[in-house]
Amino acid sequence: MNLDEIKTFTKPPESYWMASTPTTNYPALAEDIKVDVAIVGGGIVGISCAYLLTKEGIQVAIIEADKILQGATGHTTAKVTSQHGLIYNKIKTKMGEELAKQYADANESAIRMIEKISKELNIYCDFTPQSAFIYTQQDKYVQKIQDEVQAASSFGIKAEYAEKIPLDISIKAAVRFDNQAQFHPRKYLLALAKEVISKGGSIYEQTRAVDIEENNPYVIKTKQGKKITADKVIIASHYPFYNKHGIYFARIYPERSYALAIKAKEKYPGGIYITAEDPGRSLRLINSEHGELIMVGGEHHKTGQGIDTVKHYEALVDFAAELFTVENIPYRWSTQDCSTLDDIPYVGHFTSDTPNMYVATGYGKWGMTNSTASAVILKDLILHGNSPNQDVYNPSRKTITASAKEFVKENLNVAKELLKGKLTPLPDDFEIKLGEGKVIDAFGERIGAFRDEQGALHLVNTTCTHLGCELQWNSAEKSWDCPCHGSRFSYNGDIIEGPAVMPLQYEINVNTLDKLINDDF
């Protein structure tokens, strides 16, 4: 199979982590309940934190809008590493040595925690020690890598400068972190979810939170009309769905990135890698039941603002072909990450005025260790009122003011996309092919149209139900994506990702477009 044939992508996107593990079948919330702690979101943060809290005898309930571990956790690169790009010298420069040391300690401890739990519970999650590398092929990044080695080493990380890496490519410089790892995230977390249940916790799927009554105790309202009363609430829904405080929608921006799992002729040399250059490229090995697969990741862009999304997969194929003889691509998928103004997650009290409401969000592309560190911080705050590494993650940290320019930049971008969506001329050509989606003018308003493989046409209102931005078509995932705050909807209007809590306003299914055009256009 040649490269052009490989790029045809005849199969729809599918995550290896999802394909290689069973689906879950936890019940939906069918009655009002009361618990000590309610966790909104069944990803790595929610499951890990629930596990830690139930071990301490705390009564916990997790509610998940879809099924647990199917969002970012089920579509990650699953690198268990404290190496988060060239970040330590940046934190040291902007936030000071004390907070940089906290960040290093939190993420190094998270690696060891995942390793310890997997051993204690006999979880066969493919946890494999690896060295992690950031490398560059450009002279301008050499000094940055040298600075990163010095900074990371000063915070206790085993970091070394290198001029060669195991990959068979020529580089200018690299930094190597030892004692890092990789694993299968769903194998690990599905086992933790069972532990939560065995220790008296509850997990409810297909239960979407839509609002919170700030009483004492809190009352979470669900889409189905059921209520969860809780003394303490953790919002771990990836992008916070609750907008009444904290203006998180103005302090977070969502990005999509892409991954391939390729079958290559060559044997993988070991290690996990990321480039210093932008757009970044990352590599790691997957030991699958079908033999070695090499994960190739990268191609990030703001949600709803990328080029034709299939082009991002094609770019990764081209990169992979520079390093390996690509024989096949059994799996490909994309994911969504929330980034903060200073690239440090927001973990802790939702605001300084909500002592019993907590948040965990904004991991960028480094959710495995940051999420685990977040679970520890939230557990400590709930049980003890403080945690050793809480200051660097504090959502109300004073150092965020240093990112004021980024705040203005991101919100100008949101405003631009909001206006652009309202003003963009609609296409005059209403022809829609099988598997194609586009925006059309129908009934005097913008309508999103998608024709499925059976020829049926699906029409939805393209106004995002979160804050009113106009959605853009994602051709690779066949979804409607919000360029402002990252909500995503299926072609028939159902929510794929928040912060939206309501589906698109309507969905119409017609067998042919001709009658619609003749009658209504």
Please write the tens of the pLDDT for every residue from 226-256: 999 999 999 999 888 887 776 787 788 888 8
Radius of gyration of the chain (CA): 23
142 pLDDT band, cuts 50/70/90, is very high
Does the pLDDT of residue 186 top 70, yes or no?
A: yes
Confidence class of residue 154 from pLDDT cuts 50, 70 and 90?
Answer: very high
User: 16-20, 245-249, 347-351, 516-520: lowest mean pLDDT where?
Assistant: 516-520
Domain ranges of the chain: 437-520
Q: What single DSSP character describes residue 314?
A: H
Higher pLDDT, residue 33 or 443: 33
> Would strands 326-340 and 159-162 be described as parallel, antiparallel, or unpaired?
unpaired
How far is 325 from 266, CA to CA, in rounded Å? Answer: 7
Long-range contacts (CB closer than 8 Å, 24 or more residues apart) made by 340-343: 340/251, 340/252, 340/364, 341/251, 341/400, 341/403, 341/406, 341/407, 341/410, 342/94, 342/95, 342/399, 342/400, 342/402, 342/403, 342/406, 343/87, 343/90
Of the given ranges (222-231, 242-251, 373-382, 469-478), which has the lowest mean pLDDT? 242-251
Q: What is the dihedral of CA 222, 223, 224, 226, to 10 degrees?
A: 20
- Residue reference for tokens 């030991």: 287
3-state secondary structure of 410: helix
Contact (CB, 8 A) for 497 and 486: yes
Query: How large is the average pLDDT for residues 413-437?
Result: 57
In this predicted model, which residue has the larger pLDDT, 175 or 255?
Answer: 175
More confident residue, 83 or 312: 83
Structure confidence by residue, pLDDT tens digits, 476-506: 788 888 888 778 888 888 888 878 888 886 6
Compute the distance between CA of residue 367 and CA of residue 337 in angstroms, rounded to an integer: 9
In words, the CATH class of domain 437-520 is mainly beta
Q: What is the pLDDT of residue 517?
A: 38
Beta strand segments in 455-503, E: 457-461, 472-474, 479-481, 488-490, 495-497
Which tops the pLDDT comparison, 423 or 125? Answer: 125
Q: Which DSSP category does 504 fall into?
A: -
Report the predicted TM-score, pTM, of the whole model to 2 decimal places: 0.81
490 phi/psi in degrees, rounded to 5: -70, 170
pLDDT number for residue 322: 94
pLDDT of residue 519: 40
Which residues are bridge partners to 148 per DSSP?
none
Packed helices 142-154 and 97-120: angle between N→C axes, nearest 10 degrees: 70
Q: What is the DSSP letter of 115?
A: H
474: which residues sit within 8 A by CB, 6+ positions away? 304, 306, 309, 480, 481, 488
Query: Among 513, 515, 493, which Cα is nearest to 504's?
Result: 493
